[in-house]
Structure 1
Amino acid sequence: MTAPHHVPGVRSVIGVDAGTVSLREADHLVHRLADGLRLPDGTVACTHLVRTADRRGTTVSFALPDETAAQTVWQRLTGLADPDPGLGAVLGDRTHGPAPAARTAQPGAAEHVRRSGGRAVLYPGADRLTGTVTLADLLATSAIERVVVVGSPFAAEPDPRTPVVTQDHVRPEWRDGRLTLALVPAAGGTLAPFEVPNPTPCCADHS
């Protein structure tokens, strides 16, 4: 099932590696930087897995609404009064921080630019996806463009009225250029996000 909602301005993407290992740590990093950098509305922040000989963990990326916003956030990031000494960042051909971390941040940023991968933590409408919402409302009020139900027949289209039990933890992913949410059948004819909070919704104090 799809929605016509499109995320604007994903071509101005900042990649960051701060040495996080787990997805939960990366989620915390996204929220911490979002607070410190005063990200504008329309920003999409994603996590990315890193599996190299030198680094196994996660990086994050921030797609800003336009180039001007990206320049402003980059200046804030590089001018942080109390920066993480291990944080590396990249924006286009510019880098900041330790060279190894900046290099590791680049593939996630490129992946986000292509919309070929990345697990979205912040995106337009994410704050509305709490409690239980209908599938139709989930698609209409957020940047999520498509849902897939894991284990369902390929041709099956879920009823737009189906309740989705969000558990306040909805993490869609970029797939083939569209922000896609994987769902699974849940009790009572409902659906739930495939990814469950571990162990509880991240960064409740940021909401």
Structure 2
Amino acid sequence: MTTAHHDVPGVRSVIGVDAGTASLREADHLIHQLLEGLGLPPGTIACTHLVRTDARSGVAVSFAVRGEEAAEEAWRRLTGPAGPVSGAVLGERAYGPEQAVRVAALAAAEHVRRSGGRAVVYPGVERLSGTVTVADLPALTAIEDVVVVGSPSPDRQGPDPATSVITRDHVRPEWRDGRLTLALVPAAAGALAPFEVPNPTPCCADHV
């Protein structure tokens, strides 16, 4: 399913962060910590990125922040004496040791290109609790495409818009080919559910 979906208007600045997190659970927790600690505004899109370099395997995070002033304030807090990260990048600016900066830059580049990244926080995510419909996903949130794993849709129409989606209060779309795309799988009684189950990140159940 695809739509001419709205996005939150305004230019976004992308900040990449490496704090040495090793798992999705840790990275999800870090995202919620930083959203609060950096005072990031509504409409921020925060993603996790699996990274593998010669010296580091784990998960980095990125934040697409609306408004230059908000991004500058977040950068000031992030790179201050009490900054909670090992490495960070914003545009051409870098903070931290070379290896951490490299990882942060990889995450930021994926988000800028919208070629990768698993969205943890995005416009409308707070509306995805309990059971919704396929039609609700693009109507209420920044999700643009919906696909069912194992059921290709050449016409990009996707599943029936009226189909129920059991969110399990854990909906993590990913950037694919420039669009925020949610993968679903069949669930009980003809319903669908997000491909990713909440088990990897139980610590963040209260955040979403």
With the shorter chain as reference, the TM-score category is over 0.9
CA contact (8 A) 2:14 2:112 kept: yes
- How many residue pairs were aligned? 205
Structure 1 residues 115-124 or 64-73, which shifts more?
64-73
Query: Would the alpha carbon gap of residues 153 and 59 (structure 1) be closer, same or farther in structure 2, given more than 3 Å must change?
Result: closer
CA offset at residue 68 of structure 1? 2.4
Q: How do 1:136-151 and structure 2 match up within 5 A?
A: 136-151=135-150
The AA in structure 1 aligned to 2:2 is T
Q: Which residue of 1 aligns with 2:24?
A: 23
User: Once the two structures are superposed, what CA deviation does each residue of 1:112-137 show, in whole Å capped at 9, x if it has no partner?
Assistant: 01111100000000011011101111
Give the TM-score of the pair, scaled to structure 1. 0.92
The AA in structure 2 aligned to 1:2 is T
Q: Distance in 1 between matches of 2:206 and 2:79?
A: 26
Q: Distance in 1 between matches of 2:96 and 2:118?
A: 24
Q: Distance in 1 between matches of 2:163 and 2:73?
A: 41
Q: Which residue of 2 aligns with 1:132?
A: 131
Q: Distance in 1 between matches of 2:42 and 2:131?
A: 24
The AA in structure 2 aligned to 1:32 is Q
CA contact (8 A) 2:146 2:184 kept: yes
Q: Distance in 2 between matches of 1:112 and 1:200?
A: 21
Give the TM-score of the pair, scaled to structure 2. 0.92
CA contact (8 A) 2:28 2:201 kept: no
The AA in structure 2 aligned to 1:129 is L
CA RMSD of aligned residues (A): 1.7
Q: Distance in 2 between matches of 1:48 and 1:122?
A: 13
Q: Which residue of 1 aligns with 2:177?
A: 176
Q: Distance in 1 between matches of 2:201 and 2:88?
A: 29
Query: Would the alpha carbon gap of residues 176 and 7 (structure 1) be closer, same or farther in structure 2, given more than 3 Å must change?
Result: farther
The AA in structure 2 aligned to 1:30 is I
Instruction: Report SS of the residue matched to 2:33.
Output: helix
CA contact (8 A) 1:21 1:56 kept: yes
Q: Name stretches of at least 5 consecutive residues in structure 1 with no aligned partner.
A: none
Q: Which residue of 2 aligns with 1:123?
A: 122
Q: Is 1:2 the counterpart of 2:2 in the alignment?
A: yes
Q: Name stretches of at least 5 consecutive residues in structure 2 with no aligned partner.
A: none
Percent identity at matched positions? 71
CA contact (8 A) 1:9 1:63 kept: no
Structure 1 residues 9-18 or 127-136, which shifts more?
9-18
The AA in structure 2 aligned to 1:104 is V
Q: Which residue of 2 aligns with 1:188?
A: 189
Q: Which residue of 2 aligns with 1:157?
A: 158
CA contact (8 A) 1:10 1:113 kept: no
CA offset at residue 142 of structure 1? 0.4
